[in-house]
């Protein structure tokens, strides 16, 4: 492995391994929901598997991948990683924490699903392990910021390189978001799981959780956007349509990612309709930067197609490199987001939310957004990263070429059928043995379609893991290709969009405004709380 990138490479290796394990568990769940029998099938295995799948995919795969990507971007755009040793320390903290949490899940001691809502109670090591993962990621953020500061001292008048601009936005969102998580986990869940306190208030805990949980989705999405803005146009053979719009987008996410969490709590009592409406309005505002992204990135792809000679209205699409595994994966990720974003806008509308909340629709929604848009961008990016990090040619190129299409096809089946099943009332997170007979029968066919999708998804996931592992271990040695980033049609200039101190201050004020009063009200009530509940 290229020494400068060993830190990044190790993170990405862990991410891919977590992804591989989590995909196998995902298949188990989909088969289970379709009522297809396999050895040792049981309700406890189902819930253990749902928990492990969610935690490994949504928290471990993403966080390690994003950390690895951050190191690559710092090394390549700033020419340094300030505090590599600290970076390794953070890696071990995060890795040990993840393993500890995963072990307690697989031993059946933490069947709390990836949202770990109380009064479901996990083993203390689950919460402590998750905390270590987050603390590791905090240190990682500090290393990236320190690298940026060190670069800034040498380049005082320059605009921040766009990939770093996006990463800094990601890190700021992560710090603001995980503050809510820290209050929930350290202030409530850990003392409760250690039996220092007897009861817990689920509503307050959920409120802190969603302070974290919504910006969490932008912690996943923004690194994908960084790739869309700064790598995709280059691989497509074009230029970024507008660097300035990219900066506006990242800053808008810093401002608007956090104060929207009540859109996950429309059904919760104790929060007044006015505050839910406030968060709804802010949710629709945070849709805007994604619409700008749709415009800017698609315009950049059009530039690429036209630079290759396309002249018609749409034939530039065919000129794009659809047989390149990176491009195909990221291009399909974007197409999926048309539907993911549309679904998100439906979820955010109070009345329609009451139709889909807690149904399989939500699983459908996050498998298009996180499971396709983000996951396919990261998988595609792995094909771009690994040869450059390892100095080895991609192995099994044919497999790498079909893998993104398999994923997309599998997800069309899986996600569409879950969306429809949700509209027909299929609850999310319900073990299928309780869904048979006349009542459950109407969901069965859709669950079978979902299971067929899951088999295809699993085949795709295994292909991805095989390509990455084979490249790493046995790829032909080559001179590592350079990391090249897209130039923009107009070169960037220093602007107010680079002033992250200012934007962070505004974001803090917005969070206080959106959460201060409702939280004070919630905490003012006399609370009786709930004792712990462990179903298995």
Q: Which is nearer to Cu ion, 254 or 386 (CB)?
A: 254
Catalytic residue among 114, 209, 366, 414: 366
To the query of whether residue 477 is one of the catalytic residues in this protein, the response is no
d(CA 295, CA 7): 35
Q: Does residue 79 contact residue 151 with C-beta atoms inside 8 Å?
A: yes
Catalytic residue among 11, 428, 444, 500: 428
243-273 as b/e: b if 16+ CB within 10 A: bbbbbbbbbbbbbbbbbbbbbbbbeeeebee
d(CA 459, CA 334): 21
Q: What are phi and psi of 225, to 5 degrees?
A: -60, -35
Which of ligand HAS, Cu ion, none sits in contact with 366, Cβ below 5 to 8 A by type? Answer: ligand HAS
Which of Cu ion, ligand HAS, none sits in contact with 78, Cβ below 5 to 8 A by type? Answer: none
Catalytic residue among 365, 388, 395, 419: 365
To the query of whether residue 218 is one of the catalytic residues in this protein, the response is yes
Q: Report which residue's Cβ sits closest to ligand HAS.
A: 341
Question: With binding defined as CB under 6 A, does residue 369 bind ligand HAS?
Answer: yes
User: DSSP 3-state helix, strand, coil percentages of the chain (rounded to 5)?
Assistant: 75, 0, 25
Q: Scan residues 210-229 and list those touching ligand HAS (CB under 6 A).
A: 217, 220-221
d(CA 518, CA 272): 8
Q: Report which residue's Cβ sits closest to Cu ion.
A: 214
Q: Please return the burial class of 47, using the count of CB atoms within 10 Å of its CB with bins 0-12, 13-18 and 19+.
A: buried
Q: Does residue 380 contact residue 374 with C-beta atoms inside 8 Å?
A: no
218 closest CA partner among 493, 507, 535: 507
Q: Scan residues 385-444 and list those touching ligand HAS (CB under 6 A).
A: none
Q: Scan residues 320-359 and list those touching ligand HAS (CB under 6 A).
A: 331, 334-335, 337-338, 341, 344-345, 347-348, 353, 357
Q: How far is the CB of 369 from ligand HAS (least distance, A)?
A: 3
Q: Scan residues 254-283 and list those touching ligand HAS (CB under 6 A).
A: 263-264, 283
Q: At what angle do helices 273-307 and 243-256 cross, to 10 degrees?
A: 160
Q: Which is nearer to ligand HAS, 283 or 390 (CB)?
A: 283
Which of Cu ion, ligand HAS, none sits in contact with 180, Cβ below 5 to 8 A by type? Answer: none
Catalytic residue among 4, 11, 367, 419: 367
| Half-sphere exposure (Cβ direction) of 33: Cα atoms closer than 13 Å | 31
To the query of whether residue 428 is one of the catalytic residues in this protein, the response is yes
Number of helices followed by number of strands (H, E) in the chain: 18, 0
To the query of whether residue 429 is one of the catalytic residues in this protein, the response is yes
Instruction: Report cis status (omega within 30 of 0) of the bond before 119.
Output: yes
Question: With binding defined as CB under 5 A, does residue 365 bind Cu ion?
Answer: no
Which of ligand HAS, Cu ion, none sits in contact with 46, Cβ below 5 to 8 A by type? Answer: none
One residue of 290, 300, 403, 463 binding ligand HAS per CB under 6 A: 290
DSSP 150-174: HHHHH-TTSPPPHHHHHHHHHHHHH
One residue of 287, 355, 412, 455 binding ligand HAS per CB under 6 A: 287
d(CA 44, CA 61): 24
Q: Which is nearer to ligand HAS, 135 or 292 (CB)?
A: 292
Question: With binding defined as CB under 6 A, does residue 374 bind ligand HAS?
Answer: yes
Question: With binding defined as CB under 5 A, does residue 214 bind Cu ion?
Answer: yes
Which of Cu ion, ligand HAS, none sits in contact with 338, Cβ below 5 to 8 A by type? Answer: ligand HAS
To the query of whether residue 444 is one of the catalytic residues in this protein, the response is no
To the query of whether residue 152 is one of the catalytic residues in this protein, the response is no
Q: How far is the CB of 365 from Cu ion (least distance, A)?
A: 10
- 191 Cβ partners below 8 Å, 6+ apart? 197
Binding window for Cu ion (CB under 5 A); candidates: 114-122, 211-219, 385-393, 511-519 = 211-219
To the query of whether residue 365 is one of the catalytic residues in this protein, the response is yes
Q: Please return the burial class of 501, using the count of CB atoms within 10 Å of its CB with bins 0-12, 13-18 and 19+.
A: exposed
Q: How far is the CB of 305 from ligand HAS (least distance, A)?
A: 9
DSSP code for 375: H
Q: How far is the CB of 272 from Cu ion (least distance, A)?
A: 19
Cα 120 vs. chain centroid, distance in angstroms?
24
Which of ligand HAS, Cu ion, none sits in contact with 291, Cβ below 5 to 8 A by type? Answer: ligand HAS
Question: With binding defined as CB under 5 A, does residue 395 bind Cu ion?
Answer: no
Q: Which is nearer to ligand HAS, 320 or 435 (CB)?
A: 320
d(CA 297, CA 337): 13
In three-state secondary structure terms, 380 is helix
Query: Which residues sit opposite 488 in a β-bridge?
Result: 240
Contact track, ligand HAS, 82-121, x by CB under 6 A: ---------------------------------x------
Maximum CA pair distance of the chain?
A: 71
Catalytic positions are 214, 218, 365-367, 428-429
Instruction: Name the site residues for ligand HAS (rule: CB under 6 A).
Output: 115, 217, 220-221, 263-264, 283, 286-287, 290-291, 293-294, 298, 301, 317, 331, 334-335, 337-338, 341, 344-345, 347-348, 353, 357, 362, 365-366, 369-370, 374
Instruction: Name the site residues for Cu ion (rule: CB under 5 A).
Output: 214
């Amino acid at each position: 492995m290229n020494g400068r990138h060993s830190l990044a490479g190790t993170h990405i290796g862990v991410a891919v391994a977590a992804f591989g394990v989590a995909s196998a568990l995902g298949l188990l769940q989909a088969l289970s929901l379709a009522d297809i029998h396999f050895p040792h099938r049981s309700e406890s295995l189902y819930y253990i598997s749902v928990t492990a799948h969610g935690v490994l995919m949504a928290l471990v795969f993403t966080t390690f991948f994003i950390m690895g990507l951050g190191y690559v971007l710092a090394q390549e755009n700033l020419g340094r990683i300030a505090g590599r040793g600290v970076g390794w320390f953070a890696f071990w903290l995060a890795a040990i924490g993840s393993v500890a949490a995963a072990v307690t899940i697989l031993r059946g001691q933490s069947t709390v699903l990836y949202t770990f809502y109380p009064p479901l109670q996990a083993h203390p090591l689950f919460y402590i392990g998750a905390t270590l993962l987050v603390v590791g990621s905090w240190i990682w953020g500090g290393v990236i910021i320190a690298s940026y500061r060190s670069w800034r001292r040498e380049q005082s008048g320059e605009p921040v390189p766009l990939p770093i601009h996006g990463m800094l936005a990601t890190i700021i969102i992560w710090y603001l978001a995980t503050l809510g998580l820290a209050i929930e986990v350290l202030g409530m869940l850990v003392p409760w799981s250690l039996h220092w306190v007897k009861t817990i208030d689920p509503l307050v805990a959920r409120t802190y959780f969603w302070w974290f949980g919504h910006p969490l989705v932008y912690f996943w999405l923004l690194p994908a956007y960084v790739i869309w803005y700064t790598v995709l146009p280059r691989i497509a053979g074009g230029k970024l349509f507008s660097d300035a719009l990219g900066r506006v987008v990242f800053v808008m996410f810093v401002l608007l990612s956090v104060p929207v969490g009540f859109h996950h709590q429309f059904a919760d009592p104790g929060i007044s309709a006015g505050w839910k409406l406030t968060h709804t309005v802010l949710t629709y505002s945070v849709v805007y930067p994604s619409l700008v992204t749709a415009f800017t990135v698609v315009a950049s792809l059009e530039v690429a197609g036209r630079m290759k000679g396309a002249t018609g209205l749409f034939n530039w699409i065919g000129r794009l490199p659809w047989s390149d595994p990176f491009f195909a994966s990221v291009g399909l990720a974007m197409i999926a987001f048309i539907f993911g974003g549309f679904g998100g806008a439906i979820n955010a509308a109070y009345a329609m939310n009451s139709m889909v909340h807690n149904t399989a629709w939500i699983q459908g929604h996050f498998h298009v957004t996180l499971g396709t848009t983000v996951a396919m961008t990261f998988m595609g990016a792995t094909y771009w990263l690994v040869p450059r990090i390892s100095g080895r040619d991609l192995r099994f190129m044919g497999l790498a070429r079909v893998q993104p299409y398999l994923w997309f096809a599998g997800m069309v089946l899986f996600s569409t059928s879950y969306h429809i099943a949700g509209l027909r009332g299929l609850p999310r997170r319900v073990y299928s043995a309780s869904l048979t007979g006349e009542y459950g029968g109407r969901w069965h066919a859709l669950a079978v379609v979902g299971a067929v999708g899951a088999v295809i998804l699993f085949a795709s996931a295994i292909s991805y893991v095989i390509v990455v592992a084979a490249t790493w271990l046995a790829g032909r040695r080559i001179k590592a290709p350079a990391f090249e980033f897209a130039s923009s049609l107009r070169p960037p200039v220093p602007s107010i969009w680079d002033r992250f101190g200012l934007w962070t201050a505004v974001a803090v004020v917005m969070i206080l405004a959106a959460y201060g009063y409702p939280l004070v009200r919630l905490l003012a009530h006399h609370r009786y709380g709930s004792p712990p509940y462990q179903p298995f």
